[in-house]
Amino acid sequence: MATTRCPDCHASLVVPEDPTATTMRCGYCGSTVALADAEARRRHALELEREARLRAQAEAASARADRQEARAEAERREERRERRRGRWGARLMTLIAVLAAPTIIAITVFDLPARLGFGASGADRLKQVSAQLATTGCTVLAPIRSTYATGTVSTLVAVQAQCVRVLAAGAGDHRTLGLRLFAADGKELAKASDTLDPQLAYCAPAPTTLRYEVVVGPAAKGRLSHMVLACPAPAAKGRE
């Protein structure tokens, strides 16, 4: 245990163990006592401060490196997950394609003739109906048109001041059809909903252009046919 003496009261004092202390206070007279090795203590204090600063810098650098490594590892994990998801997504799409291929091929093969204009279209039915109506004086105003349809078919027809009858028939999914007739201004003139024998009759008071729609069922596809006849005006009912 190191000791020193107070220069004022000459009391024996124990030097503090703190290596950074350069002075001490006398416990007897209160005088400030300079320690003999003050310069060495100052150098030691500076060395301790420098070492502490270096340790703090090293710890900060290590913490930054740890954070960067943690981020890099997180990015690597996310990249691996993305690759796994991509592989699973590709496998799923392949599986769907494999499972759907027979259905797609079947639909394409069996539906292809209708798309190309072959097979039943309801035209035969319209020929029979128009032949029957011809006996009542009806004539063809717009001949039979056949088309492959998966949605509503819209057609314009020019008429004189005359009565017309719109006919439609279908094949495939188009066993039942609807018909709607519209004036030039878009006003609906007549309507037939979801029937096996869709027909509409209307008498135009003056020359005009009418539009009719052949309405198909939801998700229905196949060929259908439609035509327009000009027919005599219905006879007025006599008074009773």
User: Minimum mean pLDDT among 96-110, 124-138, 167-181, 186-200: which range?
Assistant: 96-110
Residue whose C-alpha is closest to residue 233's, from 169, 125, 159: 159
The predicted structure's pLDDT at residue 104:
53
User: Minimum mean pLDDT among 6-20, 167-181, 204-218, 219-233: which range?
Assistant: 6-20
The predicted structure's pLDDT at residue 240:
38
Strand blocks (E) in the chain: 3-5, 12-14, 23-25, 32-34, 139-149, 153-159, 163-170, 177-182, 188-195, 199-203, 208-215, 222-231
The pLDDT tens digits of the residues spanning 55-97 come to: 999 999 889 888 999 998 998 888 888 888 888 878 888 888 7
Average pLDDT over residues 132-142: 95
CA atoms within 13 A on the CB side of 167: 29
The predicted structure's pLDDT at residue 209:
96
Is 2.60.120.380 the CATH classification of the domain at 123-231? Answer: yes
The predicted structure's pLDDT at residue 112:
55
Enumerate the CATH 2.60.120.380 domain ranges in the chain, comma separated.
123-231
Q: Is the dihedral of CA 132, 191, 150, 195 positive or negative?
A: negative
Strand blocks (E) in 8-63: 12-14, 23-25, 32-34
Q: What tokens were used for 144?
A: 């039979």
The predicted structure's pLDDT at residue 239:
41
The predicted structure's pLDDT at residue 12:
85
